[in-house]
Structure formats: C-alpha cells, structure tokens
Structure 1
Amino acid sequence: MKTLYLDCGMGAAGDMLTAALLELLPDKEEFLRELNGLEIPGVTVSGEKIAKCGIQGMQVTVKVNGTEESEDMHDHVHEHAHDHNCEHTHDHDHGHIHDTSHEQAHVHHHVHSHHHHSGMHEIGHIVQDLPLSEKVKADILAVFSLIAEAESHVHGVPVKEIHFHEVGTMDAIADITAVCLLMDKLAPEKVIVSPVHVGSGHVRCAHGILPVPAPATAYILRNVPIYGGSIRGELCTPTGAALLKHFATGFGEMPVMKTAAIGYGMGKKDFDTVNCVRALLGETEETGDTIVELQCNLDDITSEAIGFAQEQFFEAGALEVYTIPVQMKKSRPGVLLTVMCREEDKDIMLKLFFRNTTTLGVRENVSRRYKLSRTIRKVDTEFGEVRKKVASGYGVTREKYEYEDIARIAKEQEMNLEEVARRIDMQAGRKAED
C-alpha cells in the first residue's frame, strides 16, 4: 500500500509541508512552474536547497506582490467586531515571540490601502477560479473550513463573520493549494502523521499573551496526539494543523515500510534540533493478520445457553461468533458454533467453550485474514459529535457512521437511521459549498 509518513517532531507549517512533499517529486522545478502558472493573485512561489544541522532539504518562499510574508500576516484572521490592534500573531516560521502592535499597525495600513479582508465566501471564489480539478479545490476549501471553524469557536462568532487578512490570505492560499496539489500528485493510499510537537510557552500579541498551542491550533488538533517540550515558541500553525487534520488517515509511530523517497521541508528559524517536517513515501504491506477459527457441533444445548456463551466470547475479545444450523448423527438437528479470535486469545476461548457449552471437543483452523485499514474520525454535526469509520486499502475507501451514534440520535430525534445519516451528509455538503 502506498503510504506517506509525516514526521512532525518540530511541528508543521504550510510552507514546511509544501517543501517536504515537493522533495518527493522527481521534477521539482516543473511543479513550481505549474503552481505559479495557476496565477494565484499576486503570488509567486520559489524553492531552494538549504542545509540545517548538516542535513540538506528544501525551503519554500511565498511572495505576495513581490514581498515575502511576515509572521504577522500569516494565519491571520479577525472578526468584524474585533479591534485591529489586538490580533493574534501566528509564527509562520517557528520560535518567534514578540509584541506586534507597531508592526501590525503597519500591516493593517498596508492591507486597508491595497486589499480587503477575505471571508470564506471570497476565498471560495478565488479557489473556484483556479485551473484545478474539483477534487483539489474541494480539499483546499475543506482545509480553510477547518481553520475558519476553529477561529469561529475561539472568537465566539459565526464562521461567516471570520475574515482573513487579504495579504496573509494569499500566502495561506498558496501554501494550502501547494500541499493539496502535491497530495493529489503523490496520491498516497494512507497518510500516517507522527504525534505533533506544538512547542511551548506563550505567544505575545498587542492585546495580551496567549498560550502555545494557539487557541485555534489547539481546537483543530482535538483528538490528535500532540505534545510540548523544551522549545519555546509556536511550532505548529493553524494552517499546518488543518492540513495534517484533513489528510491524515491516522496518527502514530512510523509503520514498517519500504521507503522510496524522503523529503525534508525546512522552516526559517534555527534550533539545536533541525527545524523541519520530514516526509517519507513508500510501501507498507496491506493490512493482514493471522486469526484462529474454533468450532464445535452441538445438539444437546439450549438456545439460551448458546446465547449466553456468545456474550462471554465477545466480552473476552472474540472477533466474531456465529452459529449455523447443521444435521448431526442420528438425524438430530444441531448447530455449528464458530468463534474467530486472535492467536493470543485462543486459550481463553477454549476455556469458555468447555465452560459454557456441552461440547467434548473443539476443532481449530488457522487462517490468514486480509482487511482494510480502519480509522475513526469525529464529525461535528447539528446533533453533536458523531464518529465515522473510515476503511481504506487495496485501492478502495469506505466510510460509515458509527451505528451507536446514529442510533442514539435517531432515538433522541424520533427519526430512522437513514434520515439521520442523510441529514449529516446534507450538512457536510452545505459546509463544502460554503
């Protein structure tokens, strides 16, 4: 299975993810020409090879109207009623903490003199005008939606009132577009992300001091393994967090894989530890394991006893328990009781067979099981949080809402299961359109 592993031991930002994924392509200059050929308004993107801590990698620079983005303009949002001098500063290239009141006043002057503030509606128009596939456009808008929803939650205002500074918006569009386009070209079947190092300490803004991770970043990274450390500063930006959250099929340690390409995406700041996102692209074996199938024939046991035995098997960790009607000797009707379990659970299951059934013997078959890789995603809906099971592998992807969650909502709302799922899908569709 084609697998991408992202090592975020020094956090993640849009430019770092772009650079790391760009390194995985055989023709980097061709991609940069294609990206600049999209003609994102005022944007040019370049990349160069640099070395940090003795390791060579790629560093990407985004310029808007010929000017490289400053930290104050990156990942920068506000709502209509918010004082322009108390914006939250997100550190684009990590580790920088300072008072930004004077610089932000300059940024706001620049923005108001030459640009307007863009909300999700305006961003949607910019993205829809880009000569990209509908899939890539949908990915871009989904990432922006994660950021806007986080800022909406933090500021306590509707998403439609969240506006991104125009200059910072173009930089973010460039980063997000680049990553989404690179992911489309690389086309991994599985994306595993390491636990994310978010940094530590505080971020200073003109209106006060905020903890790291920044509130929006922390909101986006809910249910994601994160950690701090001795490095002071913001290592993961909202844009980086949203890109990881959108594309990751799972979070955890690096899987066993045959690596074909490795990319280092360098940040702008220097630390004792190399400041980069590392991307590894390779092949992992399709998910498979060995299971034990235990069986016995029964013709002298009550249905209640069989039902009780099934409950005991499941509680002990059985993967599957089922019965099949069979014709036994002397023309007696009976059942074939089958329990599937992991190898390490076999002895427990055998004890349960003899304790809870009338059998005198149990047969064993060892089988190789192939399965899709499964992850659980949490979806915010009008009914609250709903879990969605996502299964992928062998070239297919399947999604299904967790039955217990859908059943609970159906009971609470006096609806059937299909109506609940349809309402959730419709809501998701409206978010994508917005």
Structure 2
Amino acid sequence: MAVWTLGLNHNTAPLDLRGRFAFALDQIAPALQGLRHSHTRHPEAAILSTCNRTEVYCASEAPQVDHTLDWLARAGDVPADALRQHTYVLEDGLAARHAFRVASGLDSMVLGEPQILGQMKSAVRAAEDAGALGQTLNQLFQRSFAVAKQVRSSTEIGAHSISMAAAAVRLAGQLFEDLGKIRVLFVGAGEMIELAATHFAAKNPRSISIANRTLERGEHLAGRFGAEVMRLADLPERLHEFDAVVSCTASQLPIIGLGAVERAVKKRRHRPIFMVDLAVPRDIEPEVKGLEDVFLYTVDDLASVVEAGQANRQAAVAQAEAIIDAGVQSFMHWVDQRNPAHGVVPVIQELNAQAEQWRADAVAQAQRRMARGESPEAVIEALARALTHKMLHGAMAELNGASAETRAQVAESVRKLFLRA
C-alpha cells in the first residue's frame, strides 16, 4: 500500500496563492469525491485545509502523485507546472513523518501550537463522513493523534507558545497605550475568532462587538464576552466606530473593501485603526495596507511575532522527533505487514477463519452436551480441553515430525508462539 501527501504551506507558498486552495468544511465532501474519481484507482483521501496550509493525504495500492497534483491545480484554477513550484510531495515513511510532525505542532508557524491537532481531527471526521477514509489513512491519522498526545505530555514543545490570537494582542498593545480604552470588532464567529476574542477580552477593552453573517451564532459567542452583536451587512457603515478589527470568516471573497476603510478613516479624523486578517482567502482587501493610519496584519505578517521565544523550545524538538521516529517505524511496520506480496494478510485471514471455525464447533458441541443434561462444569471443562487440543495439535505435529536438522529451529518457533506472554 502506498501513502503520499501533496501540500503547500506558509513556507512554500504566498498567502494569496494559499487562498486559492482553501477549502471550507462544507466543501470537503464534494472535493474529496472529485479527487478520488480523478484518479485511475480511487484512493483513500483526506484534505487538511487551514490558514497556513492545504494538504492532500492519499493511500492506494500504487502512488498516483501526478493525478493528485493535476486535481489540486484544477481545484485552484492554477497551471499544474506553476503549482508544482510551491508544493511538496512526500511518500510512505516521509508522508507519515510529516503527518506526525503536523499533528504535534512541529511544522506550524507557531512551534508547538495546539490548534492544528483539532483542525486535523476535523479533517479526518470530514473524510470519514464522506466515505473517503479507509483503513490505511485511518491508521495514519489515529497514530498521528497518539504521537501528538505523547509529544505534548512528554516534552516542553508547547511551553510558552504564542498563538496567532496572542500575537494580535501583542501587536495591538504596541499601537495603543491602553487596550482597556479601545473598541474591538470581531468579524466571524469561528474557532479562531473565539480564541482571539478570549485573548482581547482578558485586556478588558472598552467594548467588544461581533459581526457575523448569522446572528444566532454571533449571539452565542457574544454571550461569553458580554459583547454586542451586529449584522455583517451593517459593517461598512459602522466600521469607523472601532479601533481594532480582527476578521476570520470562510468567505471566498474579501468582505472589507478599500472604500469602506477609506470612509472609516475619514470619519475617525485619521485616528489609527488596527486590523488583523486571519482568513485564507483574505477577508480584507490587500490594498488597505497602503492607507495611512491603518495598520493591517495578515497571518504571514504575524510570523515574526510568533517566532519570538521559539529558541527556548528548540531543546524539546529533538525529544519530540525521537517520539515521532518511533511512531513512523511502527506505522511503516504495520503497512509492510499488510503488503500482499509478503503473504502475511492471507495467513492472518486463514488463522482468523480457522479459529472462528474451532470456536463455532466447540460452542455447538457444548450446547448439545448441555441439552443432554450434563453439568455446566463438565461442559466448560470439555470445551476448554477441546479448544486447547486443537490449538496445540499443529505445533505438536511439527515438533514430532521435525528432522534432526530442523528440530531446534521448530522448537524455538513454538516457544515464541506459545510460551512467551
């Protein structure tokens, strides 16, 4: 079984290119269907899409990397040759290592950040719901979650990590002398906005407002922070009221345009506006960054902030990598055992079938003896003796029939199979 990963992330592709390959959760199922049917063999598949990366994980009897690249290029309306320059392809053990490192936060812009693990679990649930997750990818991801848990509990990799939300608060504190005097607007009501609102709320700003396409979800989040809720449609007319704006929605097009920000700056008489666009694709038109009195930051702009303090965690990276190495070795051994060319799978299937037949025969015989009125103790004893005899018969026959040359080897094999816990 071949496993491969095709992806692009904050290290290989600029923000606007990554935006062309962002998949909202409700787009995952149809995307996976199109992906699988675009391959000559319909592979197992999963798509991980976050603000910093889009990765396609596949498993099939043989690798089909070019088909995966062609499909992704069509999905983002980008020539395959152009996309190839910004992507990475990893196969088998390297693909497993990458998945384990991603889940553990070692491949994130914020070293050790925990959000990626939840995002990966959501991607796996989406693939499972779409019927695209088979045994091999399920094993890959479940093992990646286990490795991530071990890394988190056994190392200091996540200590003092600065999340995107915390970085936004730090930057706002550099612009405004007192965050307790500012009015903050959050656009969207998803996980990242909830995290950002939590960090800003800790600074007790003058007011918090939440603008969302659906009021019900916005009201649910607002209730946690005592915030005002407003309709997204009212945003252009009210933008001037806010000193800080943090936006992260699943919109495929910008929802805060240059003209709206220009009017807001004019109404504010050029008092500064701090803006953070955490969305991929962008929520705020990039031209806004050129306006005076507007301080706009994207996820990529936050890189230098979140990197602060990473040197203090580098000592834990080696320990985490050792845990990942062991996980990769275990996963590849699992994959290798299921390679039909090695003949292991048919043997396992035959063993299971034989054991099931023995069990069924023993139970049927026990039921007949019970029906004849024999005592339960006698029936259980006979059942156990019959099963034990059947399990040991083959080993005994091999030992008794072995030649002088092979007897020692057969005896050692029997010891491994039957005499070691």
Same fold at TM > 0.5 = no
Please state which structure has a larger fraction of its residues in strand: 1
Which protein is richer in helix relative to its size? 2
> Larger Cα Rg: Structure 1 or Structure 2?
2
Under a length normalisation based on structure 1, what TM-score does the superposition of the two structures give?
Answer: 0.22
Higher relative contact order by CA 8 Å / sep ≥ 6: 1 or 2? 1
Give the alignment's TM-score, normalised by structure 2. Answer: 0.23
